[in-house]
Structure 1
Amino acid sequence: MTPNRPYLLRAFYEWIVDNNCTPYLVVDATMPGVKVPLQHVKDGQIVLNISPGAIGNLLLGNDAVTFNARFSGNPFALYIPQRSVLAIYARENGAGTMFTPEEEWQEDELDDADTDVEEAAVSDSPEPGPDDDKPKKGSHLRVVK
């Protein structure tokens, strides 16, 4: 069966908002694929206010939670894979739920890890290039799929 987390997340979100409370999402920011502002991550986790008035373009999909938000006045597009969602709760009273790891996603992560290792082995090989005395100033960031 498919993981039930996306369905439970949508239900808890709707329930919290219908009761005029503020939904907070707890995310494991160390998981692969998570795109959140790193300066707000504490102990590997980030707590996000996902109330309708605080964010835009919220999509609680089966694979990921996506939305736009502002942090310190700067716009940011967030991408949160469902497997990285740890909990959803109401700020006012703490009502909500914590999620346990699901077997379906753990198997997917093992498959992804095997693929990442193969890709890393290919991409880590040195590329032939001209010998310049100037050091290259490439980006320290790389795209992780």
Structure 2
Amino acid sequence: MSKLSTKPYILRALYQWALDSGYTPHIVAWVNDKTCVPRQYVRDNEIVLNIGAAAAHNLNIDNEWVNFAARFNGVSHDIWIPVGHVITLFARETGEGMGFEVEPLTDDDAPITEADEAAEPEDAAESKPAEDSGKSGGKKGLKIVK
């Protein structure tokens, strides 16, 4: 049996603690080409994001990804961050929270981008499921490699 990471469980618990305490949860994430965030808000390969209910719509913290929709200057963006790229989850009001080590994704774990789909041969695209109904919770656009 493979060992499950405790990180996503701790992230979900810290998020719930912040909400229950009346605080606004934020995350700091390490950004690279595997992370889907608006690049103009990235500083030193990091981004700070409000993941409170008013800012992060349809927030999902599963065992592999943190994903949600958010508006930046009135423009909606789908945010996809590998759980391993979360550096910190903290309460904006107090700064309390927890830091984590970065666990970079391998190429096999990365989300499929529009450029990747355009570069694939047609038969490869047909053999790959559009959605995974297993480990990643059915996230559309994730590549599953077994």
Both structures adopt the same fold (TM-score exceeding 0.5): yes
Structure 1 residue 112, shift from structure 2 partner: 4.1
Residue 54 of structure 1: how far off its partner (Å):
1.1
Q: How many positions carry a matched residue from both structures?
A: 111
Query: When you count helix as a share of all residues, which structure comes out higher?
Result: 1
Q: Work out the CA distance in 1 between the residues paired with 2:54 and 2:108.
A: 36
Equivalent residues in 2 for 1:1-145 (5 A)? 1-30=3-32, 32-101=33-102, 109=106, 112=108
RMSD across aligned C-alpha pairs, in angstroms? 2.3
The 3-state SS of whatever aligns with 1:100 is coil
Q: TM-score, normalised by structure 2?
A: 0.69
Instruction: Provide the identity percentage.
Output: 39
Q: Aligned partner of 2:18: which letter?
A: I
Structure 1 stretches of 5 or more lacking a match?
A: 114-122, 124-143
Q: How far apart, CA to CA, are the structure 2 residues paired with 1:3 and 1:33?
A: 19
CA distance in 2, matches of 1:7, 1:58: 15
CA distance in 1, matches of 2:41, 2:47: 7
Give, in angstroms, the shift of residue 100 of structure 1: 2.1
Structure-2 separation of matches of 1:74 and 1:29: 20
Runs of 4+ in 1 over 4 A off after TM superposition: none
- Higher RCO (Cα < 8 Å, 6 or more apart): 1
For 1:112 and 1:20, how far apart are their aligned partners in 2? 38
CA distance in 2: counterparts of 1:44 and 1:80, whole angstroms: 13
Unpaired runs of at least 5, structure 2 = 110-118, 120-141
Match of 1:137 in 2: none
